[in-house]
Amino acid sequence: MAKKSETFGIIESRFQPSANPKSVMNRLVKMGENFIYRETKFMTQIVYQGVETIYKSRDTKSFPASKLFIFKLVKNDAMKFLKQNPNWTVPDKYPVNQTNYDYDATYGVITGTDINSAYWVIAHQLGVISDNTYNKAQGNDWKVIRLAALAVLGRSVAYQEFQNGVKQKKPIVIECEDPRINLLYRGIRYKCFEMMSSIAEILGNDFEAYRTDCIYYRDTADNRRKVYEFLDAEQFSYKQLEY
């Protein structure tokens, strides 16, 4: 079992996208230093003397080094949000997927409306992320990293520990400063599903299903209008799925 960290709190984070983390780790080992080390498909992290240094993974499918800063911005915004909203609670739970098993498929065709960047927009609307963070991560090339930055909020992270340059047998776990932060992503998702449920009610018997942030329904001009008017009022952009 991993042990919790009591001595490796992160005071500062910085990015070194061009450096080789293996060389840094080997140098710390030779110097007999205390540090912790974590390597994933997307990045490598070394925490030494309270400073977390983040390096770009050598994996060609990893996140671009120039975009790694968004993780820190999202986390800082989330912590600020919780400090400013001490009584914040998770919204009511709604299912991630919902199907209308009474849908009459004997006539008409089904279409779908997919919300663009639903979680990112909701995080901004709720105030979890700032205008600055929201605007910095616009565009399709940010899609995966936006979601990842929200999804990792509040996760406990396990690192490999080195004491006096010697690798320890058990990993060490760093917990988030505020335990409520791991509820923020859940709250963002629930707000999305609540919205989808509201659209489903508006569509009535013509609602077929929703899957996360995409809703399917009988394709009529009136139904499209209902969906578009709702999403426009909530300030979401979207795209229509054609079959």
pLDDT for residue 39: 86
Same domain, 59 and 25: yes
Q: Which amino acid is at 65?
A: A
The answer as to whether 35 is a domain residue is yes
User: What local confidence, expressed as pLDDT, does residue 33 receive?
Assistant: 94
Q: 41 vs 217, which has greater pLDDT?
A: 217
Q: Considering 183, 198, 219, which residue would you say is the last residue of a domain?
A: 183
Residue 79 shares a structural domain with residue 137: yes
pLDDT on residue 243: 63
pLDDT digits (tens, 9 = 90+) for 92-118: 999 999 999 999 999 999 999 999 999
SS3 77: helix
Say what the pTM is: 0.77
**Residue-wise pLDDT tens digits, 85-94:** 999 999 899 9
Domain membership flag for residue 220: yes
9 pLDDT above the threshold of 70: no
Structure tokens, 80: 């600020």
Are 178 and 80 in a shared domain? yes
**Position 45 in a domain:** yes
Q: How confident is the model over 143-157, as pLDDT tens digits?
A: 888 988 998 887 778
Is residue 13's pLDDT more than 80?
no
Do 136 and 191 share a structural domain? no
Specify whether the CB–CB gap between 236 and 116 falls below 8 A.
yes
Helices (H) and strands (E) in the chain, counts: 7, 13
Q: Is the dihedral of CA 155, 160, 165, 166 positive or negative?
A: positive
- Residues 6+ positions from 125 with CB-CB distance below 8 Å: 235
Residue 80 shares a structural domain with residue 178: yes
Same domain, 28 and 111: no
Per residue in 218-236, pLDDT (tens digit) is 999 999 999 999 999 999 9
Can you give the pLDDT at residue 102? Answer: 94
Query: Which H or E element spans position 228?
Result: helix 221-233
The residue among 164, 183, 202 that closes a domain is 183
Residue numbers of the domain that contains 192: 97-127+185-241
Mean pLDDT for all residues in the chain: 88
Tokens of 10: 């992160």
Higher pLDDT, 13 or 129: 129
34 and 73 fall within a common domain: yes
- Residue owning tokens 């997307």: 42
User: Please, what sign has the CA dihedral across residues 148, 154, 160, 162?
Assistant: positive
Check residue 64 and report its DSSP letter.
P
**Mean pLDDT value of segment 60-71:** 74
Write down the pLDDT at residue 84.
Answer: 94
| Residue 131 pLDDT > 80 | yes
How high is the pLDDT of residue 134? 96
Integer angstrom CA distances of residue 134 from 53, 76, 88, 212: 24, 13, 21, 21
Question: Does 207 score more than 90 pLDDT?
Answer: yes
